[in-house]
């Protein structure tokens, strides 16, 4: 029987790249589980004989009918999540249903599979909260969620740990920082910068209360994330936690400036104290990528190269 992988949130930004990476680099069959929310689009995925799409909202359990549609699977990559901080602040209950209950329901399905090889829970750097300058959180740092989104991702992560400990499900957990790439929702910072700079509009840049220090992140291209997931599905990935981190930390002003230079357009910007005006937004997140690097994986390209490839095609 052919190897089969189930990807939840398959029509989403990250999920679609993981599906494409599996199809391109293996002979596996892939089942995509998708509810087609505001951020999901089947246009991201071209029809393929080894890909099957199933519509299902994980706020409901994976019942016998849905389980039959999915069939047997060897791997589960659980990417489906509600992932917007602003909306989590406005409607935290929705995020509990999507990110905690939804994770519980897919874990229950995984528990019914007798021959599951690996289950990857796709978490976020935000579960650790803000990082002071010079601090890089490792995989086992303590949670310090500062908004409902990160709290619900931490809740799903703890459920995954509990199912690994209680039911011996072969679970891997990843923490990933700010992801960018083609077909990303235009509300995210990099596509927003590209669009606004191209149109001569002003960019708002997340800063401290003095409006002089810009927020910083480790941005990583979605294709690098998909490659890291494939790496962990292989023999190197043990049933542990792994940080998937971009090569370079950059503040959002320097990032916007880099984008304007690649576009050959002027940068119009203003610093905005987002943390004071929008509680739950933190100035700096930072993860250590040492564990993955020691195993033999890191992104292939520098940030500027990836941006150039994205902008120039």
Does the annotation count 163 as an active-site position?
A: no
Cα–Cα distances (Å) from 287 to 99, 120, 124, 176, in that order, read 22, 19, 10, 8
Taken in order 172, 181, 253, 279, the sign of the CA dihedral is negative
At what angle are helices 252-263 and 303-312 packed, to 10 degrees? 40
β-bridge mates for residue 244, sequence order: 176
Does the annotation count 249 as an active-site position?
A: no
Residues of 147-173 as b/e, b for ≥16 C-beta within 10 angstroms?
Answer: bbbbbbbbbbbebbeebbeeeebbbbb
Residue 4 CB-density burial (10 A; 0-12 exposed, 13-18 middle, 19+ buried) = middle
In the chain, count H helices and then E strands.
12, 13
Q: Could you tell me how many residues make up the chain? A: 313
Point out the catalytic residue in the list 51, 75, 149, 219: 149
Does the annotation count 29 as an active-site position?
A: no
Point out the catalytic residue in the list 126, 223, 224, 227: 126
Distance CA 74, CA 157 (A): 21
- What token pair was written down for 102? 């939804």
Point out the catalytic residue in the list 125, 223, 227, 282: 125
Distance CA 241, CA 154 (A): 13
For residues 217 and 178, the answer to whether their CB atoms sit within 8 Å is yes
Query: Closest by alpha carbon to 245, among 278, 200, 286?
Result: 286
Largest separation between any pair of C-alpha atoms in the chain: 61
Say which DSSP state 3 is in.
Answer: -
- What token pair was written down for 223? 């294709």
Q: Which residues are marked as active site? A: 125-126, 149
């Amino acid at each position: 029987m052919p190897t089969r992988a189930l990807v939840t949130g398959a029509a989403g930004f990250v999920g679609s790249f993981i599906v494409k990476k599996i199809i391109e680099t293996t002979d596996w069959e892939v089942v995509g589980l998708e509810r087609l929310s505001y951020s999901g689009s089947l246009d991201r995925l071209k029809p393929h004989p080894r890909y099957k799409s199933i519509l299902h909202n994980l706020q409901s359990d994976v019942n016998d009918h849905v389980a039959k549609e999915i069939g047997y699977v060897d791997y589960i990559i659980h990417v489906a999540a509600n992932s917007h901080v602003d909306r989590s602040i406005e409607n935290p209950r929705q995020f509990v249903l999507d990110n905690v209950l939804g994770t519980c329901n897919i874990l229950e399905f995984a528990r019914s599979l007798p021959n599951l090889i690996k289950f990857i829970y796709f978490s976020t750097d935000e579960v650790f909260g803000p990082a002071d300058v010079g601090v890089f959180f490792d995989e086992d740092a303590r949670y310090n969620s500062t908004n409902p989104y990160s709290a619900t991702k931490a809740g799903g992560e703890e459920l995954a740990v509990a199912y690994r400990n209680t039911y011996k499900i072969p679970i891997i957990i990843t923490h990933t920082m700010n992801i960018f790439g083609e077909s990303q929702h235009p509300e995210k910072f990099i596509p927003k910068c590209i669009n606004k700079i191209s149109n001569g509009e002003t960019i708002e840049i997340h800063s401290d209360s003095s409006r002089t220090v810009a927020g910083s992140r480790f941005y990583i291209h979605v294709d690098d994330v998909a490659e890291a997931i494939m790496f962990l599905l292989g023999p190197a990935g043990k049933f542990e936690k792994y940080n998937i981190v971009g090569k370079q930390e950059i503040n959002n002003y320097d990032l916007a400036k880099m984008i304007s230079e690649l576009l050959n357009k002027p940068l119009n910007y203003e610093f905005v104290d987002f943390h004071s005006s929008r509680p739950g937004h933190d100035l700096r997140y930072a993860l250590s990528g040492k564990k993955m690097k020691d195993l033999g994986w890191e992104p292939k390209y520098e940030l500027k190269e990836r941006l150039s490839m994205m902008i120039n095609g």
